[in-house]
Amino acid sequence: MDLSSLLADLEALRDEMIRTRRDLHQHPELGFQERRTAGIIAARLSAAGLEVRTGVAHTGVLGVLRGGQPGPGLLLRADMDALPVQEENDLPFRSQTPGVMHACGHDTHVAVALAVAQTLARHRDALPGTITFAFQPAEEIISGARPMIEQGALDNPPVQATLAFHVTTELPVGQVSARAGAIMASADRFEIVVRGTGGHGAYPHRSVDPILVGSEIVVALQLLVSREVNPIDPAVVTIGMFHAGTAFNIIPPEARLAGTLRTLDQELRARLQQRIGELASGIAASLRAQAEVAFDVGCPPVVNDPAMAALVRRAALAVVGEAGTVEREPQMGADDMALFLEARPGCYFFVGGANPPYVPSGPHHSPQFGVDEASLPIAAEVLLRAAVEHQERGGAKRTG
């Protein structure tokens, strides 16, 4: 393919890409409610000549670009949901929907993926293989990727590799990180119900106090992390909810706890799932109570394929140079891009978007979140270059 002509076409779409991002930013939609967003995406993809499937996983959109040359299948994924956050930034394009905000930057993901799709569509005759653009709903609630995969995103047409990016205010604009291996954590929600015997607060010996038992469980769960996990393997167990009781002088019959388990490793994840159950029920039994543990299995760690990460690093080097091509340390946050990457080798890369004090760059999910729009053309060019190299080489090669 003629790279300089591709890059010129991408550059020509720069203003439209920024306008699209601002429009989406003004009209954010929560997970599985992205109807306006999906409508804009579908219209834009259809106009560019892609085959479009809407209503995938409720509000998701798949756009298929069939190239004129033989080649592999690649999937580019962009998540499109916003968050229940009230925007506090003083921007001309601030959110117009009360209590909803693109506070994670998914508006930029959609705008960038659309620009890349439109650019490649103009060169479809020279494009080897097929590229599927997957606009995924409900990433923030880790719920959109699984049904998209179940509804054929990777199979129809067949996909061999996957790419996606996340803009981040943890890196300054001008930096890109495409690290091999596990870069984000698995995430599982669990609930523990502790059953004791309720009674008068003055006569604890006639009751089994589920609050005390639950407290012992909370403390013991941290012993799992400190005494049973290799200290060089990251693991997090956080209890975020502990509900019990109705009055200060009554021992309640029951306590309900809920928490999250995070790891960077599938084997450790399975072991800790088992040990959380064993520990909770063992402690409860030793204190005459009962504990029931239920896991809501979430998603695996985000693991980048080494060859695909190298492919993206080569693209990043061409765009932001040696100084801008960095290796961000793994994060214990989660992303259901993990499911696409578990199914097909791929790379999820980070694009720096912070530029304080000139641009609001508060933390992700905060009312002050914002990104420098100079990150959009960087993300688009890295994605375009990586996609083109992948299609032309017939896959990711372990070179460079």
Rounded to the nearest 10 degrees, how much is the dihedral formed by the CA atoms of 353, 355, 358, 361? 60
Nearer to Zn ion, 216 or 335 (CB): 335
Q: How far is the CB of 105 from Zn ion (least distance, A)?
A: 6
Q: How far is the CB of 123 from Zn ion (least distance, A)?
A: 30
Residue 278 one-letter amino acid: E
When CB distances to Zn ion are compared, the closest residue is 104
Cβ distance to Zn ion smaller for residue 18 or 104:
104
Nearest approach in angstroms of CB 335 to Zn ion is 7
Assess whether 139 carries a catalytic annotation.
yes
**Which residue, 106 or 269, has its beta carbon nearer to Zn ion?**
106
Is residue 150 flagged as an active site residue? no
Task: Check 29, 79, 139, 188 and give the catalytic one.
Answer: 139
Active-site residue, selected from the candidate residues 9, 29, 34, 81: 81
Cβ closest to Zn ion, residue 73 vs residue 353: 353
Binding status of residue 75 toward Zn ion by CB under 5 A: no
- Tokens representing 128 are 């080897």
User: 67 or 298: whose CB is closer to Zn ion?
Assistant: 298
Q: Within its chain, how far is the Cα of 1 from the centroid?
A: 31
How many chain residues are in contact with Zn ion, going by CB under 5 A?
A: 1
The Cα–Cα gap between 344 and 138 comes to 20
Least spacing, CB of residue 373 vs Zn ion, in Å: 17
* Of residues 104 and 312, the one with the C-beta less far from Zn ion: 104
User: Applying CB under 5 A, does 50 fall inside the site for Zn ion?
Assistant: no
CB atoms within 10 A of CB 222: 12
Q: How far is the CB of 331 from Zn ion (least distance, A)?
A: 11
Nearest approach in angstroms of CB 52 to Zn ion is: 24
The smaller minimum CB distance to Zn ion, of residues 104 and 319, is found at 104
Q: Which residues make Cβ contacts (< 8 Å) with residue 16, sequence separation at least 6?
A: 115
CA torsion through residues 318, 324, 325, 330, sign: negative
Q: How far is the CB of 140 from Zn ion (least distance, A)?
A: 5
Query: Contacts with Zn ion in 77-136 (CB under 5 A)?
Result: 104
Q: Which residues bind Zn ion (CB under 5 A)?
A: 104
Q: Tell me the catalytic residues.
A: 81, 139
